[in-house]
Amino acid sequence: SALVEEGVPEQAIAVLSERSQTEWDAADQPIVRDSTGIYLNVVGLADMLIHSDRAPRGRRLLEATLAAMERDARDFGRGTLWQHHMRPVALALLGRNDEAIAELHSAVVERYALNEWWYYLEHEPAYAKLRADTRFQEILRVAREHANRERQALAQLRASKLVPDRSGGAANGDR
């Protein structure tokens, strides 16, 4: 692809390595230090490694990231709330689909993380293999229903002039 020829994956890997503070020891094992605790950059780095012919390294990084998430939740008492976006992505990238779906179910159906899920579920590339699963489709249905209820509530607030209409004339269904 043109992006590979232009060195885009290598540039992305360099940026994500720096942002995630990921290092590798002498045995080529990852040292995960994502100070944000949400692991966005380190999971992105692993994804880039997997898709640029360094899949074993990317998978090792994902496994180490999942272990770091567990430590954060258990040893530092942070719980799993901060990991609700990246944990299921990491699991899906590893092909651990049942675990990924269980995480998504917990986040969406149990309603502790519904922000923008309708969009995230539909467009996250890591979920491509999950989308045909009826369990995933149910999670997506719940997220879409929530988004539609929120849109309707906002439309009512705008109609009653309690909230100004800043939509620029966009239809209620526009995303």
For 4-55, write each residue's pLDDT tens digit.
Answer: 455 678 899 999 999 999 999 999 999 998 767 789 999 999 999 999 889 9
2 vs 98: which has the higher pLDDT: 98
For 165-175, write each residue's pLDDT tens digit.
Answer: 887 765 544 44
d(CA 122, CA 110): 19
Question: What pLDDT, on a 0 to 100 scale, did the predictor assign at position 3?
Answer: 43
> How much is the pTM?
0.82
> Worst-scoring range by mean pLDDT, 17-26, 66-75, 109-118, 128-137?
109-118
Which residues share a beta bridge with 30? 24
Residue with tokens 């995480």: 103
Question: What pLDDT, on a 0 to 100 scale, did the predictor assign at position 7?
Answer: 62
d(CA 164, CA 60): 49
Q: Is the pLDDT of residue 105 over 80?
A: yes
Question: What pLDDT, on a 0 to 100 scale, did the predictor assign at position 100?
Answer: 96
d(CA 156, CA 88): 34
Cα 153 to its chain centre, rounded Å, is 27
Question: What pLDDT, on a 0 to 100 scale, did the predictor assign at position 1?
Answer: 43
Cα 39 to its chain centre, rounded Å, is 9
> Worst-scoring range by mean pLDDT, 4-13, 123-132, 135-144?
4-13
